Amino acid sequence: MKTKILVTREVFDETLEYMAQYCEVESNQADVPLDADTLARRLQGCGGVVCNLTDCIDEPLLVRCPQLRVAANIAVGFNNIDLAACTARGVMATNTPEVLTDTTADLAFALMLATARRLTEAEAYIRNGQWRGWHLKQLLGVDVHHATLGIIGMGRIGRTIAKRALGFEMRVLYHDPIRQPADVERQLNATYVTKDELLAQADFVILQMPYAPETHHLIGAAELKKMKPSAILINSTRGGIVDDAALVQALRDGTIRAAGLDAFEGEPKINPGFLGMKNVVLAPHIGSSTEATRRAMAMTAAKNAVAALTGSKPPNLLNKLSVRA
C-alpha cells in the first residue's frame, strides 16, 4: 500500500503527478491555509506532509500525528518548523535551497532599485493623473551604481546579491557570523566589517539571514539610528528580523531615507504605518515568486518527501536523522 501524503496548499499539476507515482496524495487545492486543528485532522494516517511557511509544524502537531515521518517545506527558510521537535520524534524535515537563490537575489536588487528610484511612487504619480510633463527636479532619487552596499547575512543569497552589485560597480561591505574565504571576498570584491561599521557606512543595507531567536529584531531603533539619514533598508528575507514599529518611526522621523520590504512581522498583517508612506516600496513576500522557481521549489519539496518515504535520504535533509525505510 502506498504511504499517504498531505500537500497543505496549492502546488503545480506536475508536483502532484510526480508524488502520485509513489504515494497516495491528498492535497488542499482549495488553497486556504489550514488552521492547526484542520492540519492535524487532515494529517491523520499520513506519513508525509508537503508544507510551506504558513503551516506550523510544531511539537503539539507532531504529538497528534504520530505516523508523520517527513515534513517537506516548500521554502528555503524553515522557521515554521520546530526542527528540534522533529528530530526528537524522528521526523525528517527538509527545505528547498539552491533553486531560489538567483530569483531571490533578483528581488532584493529589484527592491533596492525601485526604492532608490522611487518607482512605485512614480507609477502612482502617473496613474493618479498628476504628471504635467518633464521637469528637472521631478521625483529625484538616489544612485545605486557606485554606492556602498552593506549585506548582512552572506550566505548563498547574500553572495549572489554581491555578484549582481559588481555589475553596478558598487562598493560591497558585508557582515555575517562566518567570514567568507579570502578568494570569495576577492571574487565578490566584498569587505568584511562589523555590523556597526556596515550600518554607519552603507548607502543600502540588505538583510539576508534566516529568522531565528538570535536574529529577532536584529534591526531595531538603535541600529536604525546608526545608519546614515540618506540610507535605504531592504528586507527581503523574513519578518521579525526588523522591528517594524521602529522602522515606521525611523522613516517618519527621517532617521533613514527609505525602505524596500518583502517581509513583515506577523505577515500577512502589516504595520499600517507603512501603507501611507511614499518612501516605502512594499511587496507581499514574492522573493522567490517566478514561475520557474516556484515550480522548482515545489518539485524539490516533492522529491524530498518521496525520498524520505521510500527509504532514501532526502537531498535537503535539515536534521541529522537516520532514514527509516
Catalytic choice (164, 171, 216, 285): 285
Q: Closer to ligand DGY at the Cβ: 47 or 97?
A: 97
In the range 264-293, which residues lie near ligand DGY by CB under 6 A?
287-288
Is residue 306 part of the contact set for ligand DGY (CB under 6 A)?
Answer: no
Out of 19, 34, 75, 247, point to the residue binding ligand DGY (CB under 6 A).
Answer: 75
**C-alpha dihedral sign at 128, 130, 132, 136:** negative
The verdict on whether 267 is a catalytic residue reads yes
Nearer to ligand DGY, 150 or 287 (CB): 287
**Among positions 76, 151, 207, 305, the unique one binding ligand DGY when judged by CB under 6 A:** 76
Binding region for ligand DGY (CB under 6 A) out of 24-32, 72-80, 135-143, 220-228: 72-80
Catalytic-role residue among 89, 216, 267, 295: 267
**Closest CB 247 distance from ligand DGY, rounded Å:** 19
Pick 227 or 261: Cβ nearer ligand DGY: 261
Return the number of the residue (54 or 67) whose C-beta is nearest ligand DGY: 54
Nearer to ligand DGY (CB atom), residue 7 or residue 100 = 100
- 103 or 115: CB nearest ligand DGY: 103
Residue 77 sits in the site that holds ligand DGY (CB under 6 A):
yes
The piece of 30-38, 74-82, 85-93, 124-132 that touches ligand DGY (CB under 6 A) is 74-82
Distance of CA 231 to the CA centre of its chain: 22
Contact positions with ligand DGY (CB under 6 A) in 43-62? 53
| Segment lying near ligand DGY (by CB under 6 A), choices 41-49, 71-79, 251-259, 313-321 | 71-79
Annotation says 238 is catalytic: yes
291 CB-side CA count, 13 A: 0
Distances (CA, A) of 128 to 6, 10, 123, 125, 235: 46, 36, 9, 5, 28
Tell the smallest beta-carbon distance from residue 268 to ligand DGY (Å).
13
Task: Give the C-alpha separation, 89 to 67, whole Å.
Answer: 10
The active-site residue out of 69, 238, 257, 294 is: 238
- Interface with ligand DGY by CB under 6 A: which range of 26-34, 70-78, 142-150, 244-252? 70-78
Q: Which of 182, 180, 185, 145 is nearest to 164 (CA)?
A: 145
Q: How far is the CB of 132 from ligand DGY (least distance, A)?
A: 40
Residue 117: active-site member: no
Q: Evaluate whether 261 touches 274 at the Cβ level (below 8 Å).
A: yes
**Which of 25, 46, 100, 152 is the binder for ligand DGY (CB under 6 A)?**
100
CB nearer to ligand DGY: pick between 107 and 259: 107
Question: 3-class secondary structure for the chain?
Answer: CCEEEEECCCCCHHHHHHHHCCEEEEECCCCCCCCHHHHHHHCCCEEEEEECCCCCECHHHHHHCCCCCEEEECCCCCCCECHHHHHHCCCEEECCCCCCHHHHHHHHHHHHHHHHCCHHHHHHHHHCCCCCCCCCCCCCCCCCCCCEEEEECCCHHHHHHHHHHHHCCCEEEEECCCCCCHHHHHHHCEEECCHHHHHHHCCEEEECCCCCHHHCCCECHHHHHHCCCCCEEEECCCCCCECHHHHHHHHHHCCCCEEEECCCCCCCCCCHHHHCCCCEEECCCCCCCCHHHHHHHHHHHHHHHHHHHCCCCCCCECCCCCCCC
Active site residues: 238, 267, 285
Chain positions contacting ligand DGY, by CB under 6 A: 53, 75-77, 100, 287-288
